[in-house]
Chains A and B, each alone.
Chain A
Amino acid sequence: MLRRRLDVPLDRDGSVRFVPWVIALMVYLAAVMLATGIVVSGAVSRWDRSLAGTLTVELPPVKAGVADGMDKVVALLRATPGIEKVEPLAAEQTSALLRPWLGAEFSAADLALPRLIDVHIDPDAPPDTKALAEELATMAPGATLDDHHLWLDGLIRIARTIEIVTAVIILLIGGAAVLTIIFATRTGLAIHHGVIQVLHLIGARDGYIAAQFQWQALMLALRGGLVGIGLAALTLFAIGHAAEATRLQGSEGGLLPSVQLALPGWIALALLPLLAGLIALITARITVLRALARMP
């Protein structure tokens, strides 16, 4: 089918020679955008998953002579439905958390550190955190409940914005690809008007004539798309490599999202040239059919 002899030789007249290059550029940009979107939404869902199942209860530092509310609070938490595990952090664990910032020499005893309780909740039936916070505050003044949402919500909002922006850019690139193919097809139609008219008059169906254009458009876009995706893959490998090196250097780098794409991500990228080909095929077909519909 793709090797069929063509009555309309678009590739010989130079009118479409720019198409593969434009498509290559578009697929390249779309691939980089898509990869960005995938990495960002991957990071969000990872944060979401690791934090959604936990709460942190923070009790004010122990003051000399004041009753320690710790036991009562732990008992209350354990009795609350929806809470699966309650784990008070020992002073030593709390200071371990701070060590990267404060250095190895400090000891928890030097500072009035708040005491922390890790709470694991059932994500399917979470407790009412608002009511719980109020209850805690009356039981142990100064106690706070942190469900991480303030922090996470901000990040998620930024990430969602990035996702939307990348999606819009990809759509715009797709629109530009459609316009490119329309323009190239119209040029081809104008250059080959005589041939098309002869085919039309000897009884070629519109689909036969459109096929001449659509398969060539498919091949041109595929060719460009493969070049574009190849360059994008190189770029993404380079970025991934550099980011991985940075992560390994920093000890607290766990918070940085991984910029490595997983297999589904690569598959989505690999579909871009095919998508470009499909868009080109359909666009060229519709453009030709619409032009032919104006012939007597």
Chain B
Amino acid sequence: MVRFENVGMRYGSGPEILRDISMSLAPGSFHFLTGPSGAGKSSLLKLMYLAERPSRGLVNLFGKDIATLPRQELPPLRRRIGVVFQDFRLIDHLSAVDNVSLPLRVAGLPEEEIRSHVTELLRWVGLADHLNARPATLSGGQQQRVAIARAVISRPSLLVADEPTGNVDEDMGFRLLRLFDELNRLGTTMVVATHNERLVARFNHPRLHLENGELRLERGALGGTA
């Protein structure tokens, strides 16, 4: 599903933030990604959702080597990846419904279908009363839930979430992770970067720990590996 071989990454001519990362995430797996602030978690995820290219090494997604893939094959690949950005990246002038609809619209689904799917999901994340609200009028936690809804609406094969529970309380965080767990059970491969050790401890998922540009695989809280 996701395979990195000796991946190194730097921004411009800056220092190498990731060094020799090698890993392989099986389809249907669920991994937490932890590490101190500035360790490069977001950078690693950017490589996974194709926002950045590695400065060396091989990135392989869905069995395809990204470096050799022709440009026109990237959009269909990206549609199979859901992303929750650390800074949400909601579109200011669009309502919650329209923001969440974007991935389906971009994929060319018919409007009626989009509407009902989207409202249902927004209800599920507790935003039934804010369907037509602009992001600016929502709280941080509400925006985060809109961002999560946008990431999962198209039932992606791979879901990459960067700090998806940073702005919600413990209960809502747990609820959102349960949503991820549910998606994972349905077959979505999950990678969730987080600082929240307590939440990590409540799930039995292995963790990837990033520190000093190097990645280490640790077993789940209860000893599980995948």
Contacts and interface: CB of A to CB of B under 8 A. Distances in A.
B131 interface: no
Contacts of B52: 296
B94 interface: yes
A98 to B, nearest CB: 78
Interface in A269-294: 293
A211 to B, nearest CB: 11
Contact of A202 (B53, B72, B106): B106
B51 A203 contact: no
Contacts of A199: 102, 106
B89 A194 contact: yes
A201 B53 CA distance: 13
A130 interface: no
B79 interface: yes
Interface of B is mostly: mixed
Q: Which of B50, B75, B150 has the most CB of A within 10 A?
A: B75
B78 interface: yes
Contacts of B75: 203-205
Interface string B84-115: 00000101011000100011001100000000
A5 interface: yes
Given A208-B106, A296-B50, A296-B53, A201 B78 contact: yes
Contacts of A203: 75-79, 81, 103, 106-107
A7 interface: yes
A5 B101 CA distance: 12
Contacts of A5: 98
Interface residues of A, number: 18
Interface string B6-27: 0000000000000000000000
A195 interface: yes
A208 B78 CA distance: 14
A3 interface: no
B158 interface: no
Nearest to A205: B75
Contacts of B71: 293
Q: Which of A201, A204, A296 has the most CB of B within 10 A?
A: A201
A203 B52 CA distance: 14
Contact of A201 (B83, B93, B98, B107): B83
Interface string B37-67: 0000000000001111100000000000000
A252 to B, nearest CB: 67
A9 B72 CA distance: 26
A203 B73 CA distance: 10
B106 A201 contact: no
Interface of B: 49-53, 71-72, 75-79, 81, 83, 89, 91, 93-94, 98, 102-103, 106-107, 150
7 contacts: A201-B50, A201-B78, A202-B103, A202-B150, A203-B75, A203-B76, A203-B77
The 5 closest A-B pairs by CB, nearest first: A203-B79, A203-B78, A204-B106, A203-B75, A202-B103
